[in-house]
Amino acid sequence: LAEKALVQVRPPDDEFAYTVRVISDITESNGSSSMASVCGGILALMDAGVPITKPVAGVSIGMISDENNRYELLTDILGEEDHFGEMDFKVAGTVDGITAIQLDIKAEGLAHSIMVEALERAKTARLEILKIMAQAISKPRPELSKYAPKLISIEIDPEFIGKVIGPGGKMIKSIQEQTDTTIEIEEDGTIYISCVGGDGHLKAREIIEAMTQPPVVGRIYEQSKVVSVKDFGIFVEITPGVEGLCHISELKDGFVKNAGDVCKIGDLIP
């Protein structure tokens, strides 16, 4: 029930591609442990920086009645009230509405008017609980927890998937080793890049985008690797798999007789 209540405010996968696990250990209780898990779980998600759409709270409404059909609704019932009562109506939701409900009854049935009253009672209690929770934290923290892996996704043209993977996975393995990341590629061209600590995910994205986008005239490609030296200049790899010619006249101010006097294969051109 707690999971159903919280999953309704989870951000969509295209905005937040993480797998989220919430653990709620109840060591002892004298009330609804599932509603406590809803309140504690949403606070934990916000504290971890998960961008939920709205805070959620939950409360359980009970009922005591007699043989004359007189009844009394109870808000946030205790264990004894649950045991001796005839209803345990759990309602979770945001300020805007309900995200999950569960009804346990011992009576043969409930009148429509009782259900309406119970929902109104649950709404009043839920809004009050949300106000109290907001005093601790009212919205998700702007940054993910430092213990969470950093994860980004990018979209590329599916025709470039083979280029990113490389023969026998050589290229993608090289990118992962260079940036200390984990890269997963979907058939539709969606690429997920994750790392723990550092900014390797950003570097990996930069490499992949450079591989899957044509060179741009006028852009400066730093740290290009020299792959070949000729009499008329050098060939440099500006992005993985993309080489370009740097004419000998552009290597250095003044006259250069031999390109090999300025650089050699393997050098990085700043």
Helix, strand or coil, per DSSP, at residue 248: helix
Average pLDDT over residues 148-162: 90
The predicted structure's pLDDT at residue 150: 87
- Res. 18: pLDDT tops 90: no
Looking at residue 173, what is its pLDDT? 95
User: If DSSP codes are grouped into helix, strand and coil, which group holds residue 60?
Assistant: strand
Model confidence at 13, pLDDT cuts 50, 70, 90, reads confident
Question: Which of helix, strand or coil describes residue 51?
Answer: coil
The pLDDT of residue 259: 86
What mean pLDDT comes out for the span 224-235?
A: 89
DSSP string, 65-76: E-TTS-EEEEES
Mean pLDDT of all residues in 151-179: 92
Query: Tens digit of pLDDT for each residue in 254-265?
Result: 888 888 888 889
Pairwise pLDDT comparison (66 vs 43), residue with the higher score: 43
- Residue 232 in 3-state DSSP? coil
In this prediction, residue 146 carries a pLDDT of 81
Confidence at residue 44, expressed as pLDDT on a 0 to 100 scale: 95
Taken in order of first residue, the domains within the chain and their CATH numbers are 2-134 (3.30.230.70), 150-212 (3.30.1370.10), 224-269 (2.40.50.140)
| pLDDT of res. 224 | 85
Encoded tokens for 68 = 């004359």
Query: What pLDDT is attached to residue 262?
Result: 87
What confidence category does residue 58 fall into, taking pLDDT thresholds of 50, 70 and 90? very high
| Residue 214 vs residue 36, higher pLDDT | 36
Average pLDDT of 30-35? Answer: 89
User: Quick one: what percent of the chain has pLDDT higher than 90?
Assistant: 58
Question: What value does the mean pLDDT of the chain take?
Answer: 90
**What phi and psi, each to the nearest 5 degrees, are found at residue 244?**
-145, 160
In whole angstroms, what is the distance from residue 246 CA to residue 262 CA? Answer: 12
Residue 50 has what pLDDT? 94
Give me the pLDDT at residue 40, please: 95
DSSP conformation class of 20 = -
Quick one: pLDDT at residue 215? Answer: 78
| CA 195, 198, 199, 204 torsion-angle sign | negative
pLDDT average, residue stretch 103-110: 86
Q: What radius of gyration do the chain's Cα atoms show?
A: 30
Q: Coil, helix or strand for 224?
A: strand
d(CA 76, CA 93): 15
Lowest mean pLDDT among 3-7, 14-18, 76-80, 187-191: 14-18
| Confidence bin at 99 (pLDDT 50/70/90) | very high
Residue 239 clears pLDDT 80, i.e. is over it = no
